[in-house]
A and B are shown apart, each in its own frame.
Chain A
């Protein structure tokens, strides 16, 4: 029964189907799995009820991001073969099961179930869900692919905007009980299953001969293309450009994710000893603000890269990002406004880095297998998901054990992030057009051409 219902052939749109029904289907999935960005709201209740350290409570998030990257990298072929309804269904089952297992884990004080559930199984839901609507939207909106992918990727960035206050209200304030935390996980699992079901039911793929009314495909992309040559996914990973971009993405994401995963306790620690301490509700507001800029950065900076070029926009992400970290390191808790603004900008660069990298890959390697190349590059996200939280949490825990408080818990981490961003900046500077020996044989009427920008 399920195979037929989920099969791609069952969701080919009829001629009257509006493509504007597809974005809400995509958003139903991405707004749900974007909850991952609000994980930090669960950290203090988990630490208090199960007696965990900051490093331990970061494990589900770290594993979740690892699984996201791996399942996106290696599940792309399956998603293409089986279609978006299958992918959304798998995503929903994994994502919701992750919450249900976490509820069981908290209720029985078996923290490994939370790590395995939310991080391991839920992480597969994140990865499959992340890639499923993106390719479908591109097919529905060939005239506006940037806008279409922007909708989905913004949805992922904005998921925490909903989850952060919702989870906070459900969890309440300290002291938390095991029952409260377990119930919160249970309710999240059930509600997200219902919410994502709309996407599963609504998603359609266009017929092979479908195109938007009045639109004809362009044969010449003009200055939007850096190269008109094509590189296969197999050859791409043999080029230095791929690995330089891998480093760029990994370090840019590490710098952002380090703040994101620790956002709620970090701002509370920074301003604990000041005249304006940050409470739980306000810290949740900080998480939501970061989610908003993460979301907006995906659209604004990626669109800007069409005007200024990919290399230049990554100079901004990495160079200005390093300077912003330096500002936080030097001003510490002198100004809440400066701290929040810097963090917001860093997170906008984080989101922008995600949204711009497919275009960067397309510029360097052509469109031939850019999806598969992008999937392989997302393993950098997995690495960053481990690196960022590990650096920030391990250092904060060791500093706390040494008796330090406030911004001192994070100063070493901040300087490490600056170093990583500078290394990423250098890697970006080393990116050059791909050696023609890696190009696929040029098809008729499509000469290979490269130009620097």
Chain B
């Protein structure tokens, strides 16, 4: 048995799952850069 290409039904799940973790992470990165400016900019 080998890995098969994900079916169309699972594409939505794939997008949802990655957005679930990527969006909070993107928020963290965004806030990081905002805070870095505050850290060095006073």
Q: Is the CB of A16 within 8 A of B28?
A: no
**B3-20 interface bits toward A, Cβ cutoff 8 Å, 1 = contact, 0 = none:** 111110010011001101
Q: 8 Å CB contacts to B: which residues of A17-33?
A: 17-21, 24-25, 27-28, 31
Q: Is the CB of B35 within 8 A of A31?
A: no
Question: Given that A161-B32, A210-B1 are contacting pairs, would A28 and B39 also be in contact in the complex, using a CB cutoff of 8 Å?
Answer: no
Number of interface residues of A (CB under 8 A): 43
Q: Is the CB of B32 within 8 A of A21?
A: no
Question: Given that A24-B21, A27-B21 are contacting pairs, would A165 and B35 also be in contact in the complex, using a CB cutoff of 8 Å?
Answer: yes
Q: Is the CB of B25 within 8 A of A31?
A: yes
Q: Which residues of A contact B17 (CB under 8 A)?
A: 21, 24-25, 198, 202
- Alpha-carbon gap, A207 to B35, bound state (A): 45
Chain B proximity of A85: nearest CB distance (Å): 15
Q: Is the CB of B6 within 8 A of A18?
A: yes
Q: Is the CB of A161 within 8 A of B29?
A: yes
Q: Does A213 have its Cβ within 8 Å of any Cβ on chain B? A: yes
Q: Does A286 have its Cβ within 8 Å of any Cβ on chain B? A: yes
- Alpha-carbon gap, A212 to B34, bound state (A): 41
Q: Which residues of B contact A286 (CB under 8 A)?
A: 35, 39
Question: Given that A31-B21, A161-B28, A336-B40 are contacting pairs, would A284 and B35 also be in contact in the complex, using a CB cutoff of 8 Å?
Answer: yes
Query: Mostly helix, strand, loop or mixed at chain A's interface?
Result: helix
Binding site for A on B (CB under 8 A): 1-7, 10, 13-14, 17-18, 20-21, 24-25, 27-29, 31-32, 34-36, 38-40, 42
The 28 listed contacts between A and B (C-beta, < 8 Å) are A15-B4, A16-B7, A16-B10, A17-B10, A18-B3, A18-B6, A18-B10, A18-B14, A20-B6, A21-B6, A28-B20, A31-B21, A158-B25, A161-B25, A161-B32, A162-B27, A166-B31, A198-B20, A198-B21, A202-B17, A212-B3, A276-B42, A285-B34, A285-B35, A285-B36, A286-B39, A288-B35, A289-B39
